[in-house]
Structures are given as structure tokens and as C-alpha cells.
Structure 1
Amino acid sequence: MATREFFERDFDEQHDNSISADDCPECEGRLTTDDGETRCTDCGLVIEACRVNRRGPLTFDEDDTNRERTGAPITEARHDRGLSTEIGYKRDGKGNQLSSEKRRRLGRLRREHTRAKWQSKAERNLAHGCTEIARIVGALDLERDHREQASALFRSAQSADLLPGRSIEAFAAATVYAVCRCSNATRTLGEVVSVAQCPREKITNAYTVCNDELGLPAPPQRPREFIPGLASAMDVPPETERHARSLAEQAWAAEVSVGVHPPGFAAGCLEVACHNHGIDIIQQKLANEADVSPVTVRAHRDTVADSREAWSG
């Protein structure tokens, strides 16, 4: 008892990994503390183990967020913001196998939990929309932030009473396209339509309604933003891609590309750059990647080719 009192008097509460060297009560060896366990380095005698850390979670004055240990953060990507309860199947919280009787009981509880999962039809529609947004975001290889923003925009559209009479799948695809328009994710409407579960007309109508009613801060798209994707799809060299971006920038500065379809104009710039570098490409394939017709690509190609002399001068 006297030995413990002597040790606790010399232990540094602020540093949990080392103490001042004292003699071991058994062999007069050196004491050390490692991972909360104090022992003798010579004979291995454990003086104290499993010291309780009463300092609590670390907080920082310059950080405004609340760092309480209360589980996963709240997310907009789920209809209940991630606060729902999930009932397991075959194992408990510690990973132990459940008996057949408990599995049957959990099955009945899971069934009733599923029936009472949504409090209203609006909440059920929100869950369906968030699930569709997650699927589209995964198919388009977008980031987690884009999914959060699209889900928040879908909530705003539902709160503004824009969903009645319109397709939930169309609004989910429209919110993803709206987030791509408002962020640095360059995705064409054709790419969104290709992975959506509704026609192009419904998605266009839903995006127009969102843009008009919610006032989306969607900046005008520039043709140079679509050139890297087209160049990668057509497998052109980097110097040709840089030349196409230069043509697109010159056209934007000269206001030649104002009011035209940005992916189609980018395809025209890329075709001119490939012609200047002696690279043969299939115009139909380029038009398909830009989601336009070959006639549109040829028209923009001629516009860029005719305007090059004015830009050089």
C-alpha cells in the first residue's frame, strides 16, 4: 500500500506515456509506463494497469463544430438524415452468432419496423428520391458532396411543392444535373439521361422548374470544360487537347461561342485541332460523345475554321 501511494504521488497525470524513473519495489529496477500500464523493465512486475482516461474528447477553440461522440454525422443523402435504426440479421452488436429463436424474433421486429419506417407519403417519396439520387451519382462517378447537394436540392423542391404531378425519378435526375451545372463536375444532359429511369423530356422539364422556382446559381457553361472528356473518349494526344482548349478560349473571348451548345462547340474545336495535327477521327463517334448530331459538329467546325484568321490577326 505504501508503494502504491509513493508511485501515485510521483506519477504525472498530464503525460500518460512516461513517469519519472523510480525504483521497483521488488528488484529496485527502473519503472516505465506504456499504454497505461506501469511495469518494471528488469523483472517485469506490473505496478499499475488500465488507468482510466478522464480527459474526455479533444476540443479546439478555433473549431466551431461540436465534436461530441454521438455516432455518424447527419447527412442529407438519407430521408431521415441518417438517424434511423437498423435491425441486424444473424449477429449481435459484439459479432456473436444469434440463435434461431432470436433470429425469428428479429425478423418479426424488422418487418414491423419496415412498415412503420415512413410517417407519411411525402417522407416515402423523399426516401425514393434520395435512393435514386444515390444510384445516379454512383453511375456518373460523382463525389459524395454532389450526392449531398443533390439530396438537399430535392428536399427544397419537395418543400416548395414542386413534385406533385411530376415524376420523382425525373426530379432526382434533374437535381443531379443541376448540381453538376452549379459545381465543377462537367456532365452533359445526355450523360444524365443515359443513366436515368425516365425520358429526356421529363428531366428537362423538371430542371426548368427547379431553375425557375428555386433560382439556381447555374453559371453559363464554357466549351473548354467539355474538351478533356471528349479528348479522353477519342484518345487524342495531350498536345492536340491543349490546342483544342486554346481554340475554345479564343472563341469564348471573341464571343463566337456565346449562345451555342457548349459540348457541340467543344467537339467542333477538337475536330479542328485534330485536323491541324494530322489526326483522323470519326465524326459520328465524336458527335455521339458530345450528344449532338454530326451536322452540329460540322457547323461548329466550319465556324472555328473560318474565325481562326481573325483571331490570329
Structure 2
Amino acid sequence: MATRDIYTTTVGENVQDESNSNRCPECGGRVTTNTVETICKKCGLIVDEQRTDHGPEWRACDRDERKRTGATLTAARHDRGLSTEIGRGTDANGNMLAGRKRRQLGRLRREHSRGRFRSKAERNLAQGLGEVRRIAGVLELSESIRDQACQLFRSAQNEDLLPGRSIEAMAAASVYGACRCNGLSRTLEDVTELARVEHSRVRNAYKTMNANLGLPAAPVAPREFVPRLASELEVPDRIRHRATELAEWAKSAGLTIGVRPSGFAAACLYKAGREDGWYLTQSTVAEAADVSATTVRTHRDALDELIV
């Protein structure tokens, strides 16, 4: 008898709790729940909203690659990476498509490509960001530097700097500006070699971008070019360390003001190699730094006066 009373009491409490959960806390009316909100039918009070949907929302059909989140937003795409791409060749399961299906997807892909851009400015943005990604990929820059270059190109377009200038030139200038703002040892010649326009156009585009956007581009110190040149010339680490010390001493003495940093770094490597008995020719070092042998010899003489 006691067991029956306990069971009856427990069931009654559960029914009462469930009844209370379906009642409005204000007027006691009945509440209904949809996929977004829980609303009272009598007074209209919103009891709960933005309920979590615990159902499956897989972004991939493969069981091993199922995930609830898509790709992160990126500044390297004109639409922040939210657009959809229509694949080629196979379906979601990896099966080959029939000829009729491939032709149908080809027509859909063409119409999809036409509808991706809402204006000519958005099309130009997509072209410029694609050029930025290409140059950054060849230079093996990090994703953060690439995204900064893409953001610089966006800023240049928002400030109406593109009219009258080449999109490829502004894209290359954006990559060079991002490298300068982060103190990377990338010269303008390194970027223009990969650009599809002349050196003068990239230089003018960078000057325009720097003047209008106010880039925080600090001068690159010669010591930043020493590891790159040392790796290209295959010199020992002790020579690289000595060349870095020479570059630091020259900077503290004010010898690097107004000079080309890559040429001064080449002179530091040349002098460090001569001190260690690792004889590097001036022409070899100058070719690696893309300067003349006279430039290396002039900076070498300035270093000799500093050391003495």
C-alpha cells in the first residue's frame, strides 16, 4: 500500500510539473513552442526564444568528415568566403557523372558564375583579391600577411584609388605594403617580378596607397635581409651571426640611413666572410642582393672605417 502511494504521489508530481511548464508564468495561459520561440497563446508573452536546435546539420556527406561548422570567414574572398562552388566530374559520393548531367552542371556553373557579382566594383574586387592570393602564395607569405594585403586592397577600393590604375598594380602594391608594415625582408623588386605589370606602375601604386591610407610602414633594417642572403649564398651560421652584429653596429652608428637595406646586408655578409676566411666575391654577393658590386664595395669601406 505504501509503495502504491509513493508511486501515485511521484506520478502526480511529474504531471503537475509538466502542466506548469506548459503554462504562462504571467497569466497562466497555454504556451506553444515553434523552432524559434515559446509564446503564450493568451497574452502573447515570449517565454523563451532562440532555442538551440540539437538536430543534425552536417556540412559533409562523408561520415568521417561530418562537421557542424563551415569554413571560417576570410578577407581573401570578395564575399568573405560565403559563396557556393559547384564541383566538377563527380557527385557527392565520388561517382562519375553522366554526360547529360555534366552538361547540365556546366550550364548551372556558368549561370552561377554570372550571378556571383552584383556590380562591376565587386567583380574588380574579386579579380584584385585573386591576384593578391597568387602573389602571396608564390612568396610563401603567411595567411595573416595575405589577409592584411587583401584588406589593404579593400581599403584602396573604398577610397577610390583604383580608377586610372591597374588592378594588378594595386594588388602587388598591397602585398608589398603588408610586407613593409610587418617588417618583412621583401623588396619592391621581389614583388614586381611576380606582378603582371611594369615595375613603375607598382611603385606608383604603392606611393599612392601609402600617401592616401597612411600605412605604418617603418624602414626595414639591413639585419632583416641577412638571414635570407645567407641562406641563398649557403654561408655558415657563424658568418651570418657576425654579419648581423655588423648590421646592428652600423645601424647604431647611423650608417644605414638612406641606403638600400639589401645592399648594406650584402656588404655585411661580404665583410664577415672575409674576416672568417670564407671568401665571397663582391659580384656574387651583389647578385644575390640585386645590387651592383660598387654598392657592396662602398658599404664595405664604410664598415671598415667603423670597425677601425
Indicate the residue corresponding to 1:102 in structure 2: 101
User: Residue in 2 aligned with 1:258?
Assistant: 257
Give CA-to-partner distance per residue, 1:189-240, whole Å, 9 cap, x none.
Answer: 2211221111111111111111111011111211111011111111111111
> Could you tell me which amino acid in structure 1 is paired with residue 114 of structure 2?
R
Q: CA deviation at 1:54?
A: 5.2
User: 1:204 aligns to what?
Assistant: 203
CA distance in 2, matches of 1:107, 1:196: 31
Specify the alignment match of 2:185 in structure 1: 186
In structure 1, distance between residues paired with 2:88 and 2:119? 27
Map Cα deviations across residues 32-67 of structure 1 (whole Å, 9 max, x no partner): xxxxxxxxxxxxxxxxxxxxx95999xxxxxxxxxx
Give the counterpart letter for 1:259 in structure 2: G
* Alpha-carbon shift at residue 96 of structure 1 (Å): 3.7
Q: Equivalent residues in 2 for 1:100-249 (5 A)?
A: 100-249=99-248
Distance 2:193 2:110 in 1: 35
Matched residues in 2 for 1:294 and 1:130: separation? 38
Instruction: Using structure 2 for the length normalisation, give the TM-score.
Output: 0.76
Write the distance in 1 (CA, Å) between the matches of 2:95 and 2:108: 19
Which runs of 5 or more residues in structure 2 are unaligned? 1-52, 58-66
**In 2, Cα distance between equivalents of 1:213 and 1:265:** 30
Rounded to whole Å, the distance in 2 between the matches of 1:194 and 1:79 is 25
Cα shift at 1:92: 2.5
Structural RMSD (CA): 2.0
Amino acid at match of 2:136: V
Kindly state the Cα deviation for residue 149 of structure 1 after the two structures are TM-superposed.
Answer: 0.9
Q: Alignment length, in residue pairs?
A: 247
Q: Secondary structure at the match of 1:105?
A: helix
Letter of the aligned partner of 2:207 in structure 1? T
CA distance in structure 1 between the aligned counterparts of 2:110 and 2:92, rounded to whole angstroms: 20
Specify the alignment match of 2:87 in structure 1. Answer: 88
| Rounded Cα–Cα distance in structure 2 between residues aligned with 1:129 and 1:287 | 34
Runs of 4+ in structure 1 off by over 6 angstroms are none
1:47-58 residue pairs with structure 2 within 5 A? none
Does residue 276 (structure 1) correspond to residue 295 (structure 2)? The answer is: no
Letter of the structure 2 residue corresponding to residue 238 of structure 1:
D
CA distance in 1, matches of 2:192, 2:293: 20
Counting aligned pairs with the same residue, the percent is: 52
What is the CA distance between 1:89 and its match in structure 2?
Answer: 2.3
Give the TM-score normalised by structure 1: 0.74
User: Aligned partners of 2:174 and 2:212: how far apart in 1?
Assistant: 13
1:172–1:54 Cα change, 3 Å: closer
Q: Give a deviation string over 1:60-89, Cα, whole Å, max 9, x none.
A: xxxxxxxx9441111111111111111122
**Structure 1 gap ranges (5+):** 1-52, 58-67
How far is the alpha carbon of 1:151 from its aligned partner? 0.7
Tell me the amino acid that sits aligned with residue 200 of structure 1: H
Deviation, 1:301, is 0.8
Rounded to whole Å, the distance in 2 between the matches of 1:159 and 1:247 is 44
* Residues 145 and 178 in structure 2, CA contact (< 8 A), matched pair in contact too: yes
| 1:91 Cα deviation from its structure 2 partner | 2.5
> What is the distance in 2 between the residues matched to 1:273 and 1:90?
58
Displacement of 1:174: 0.8
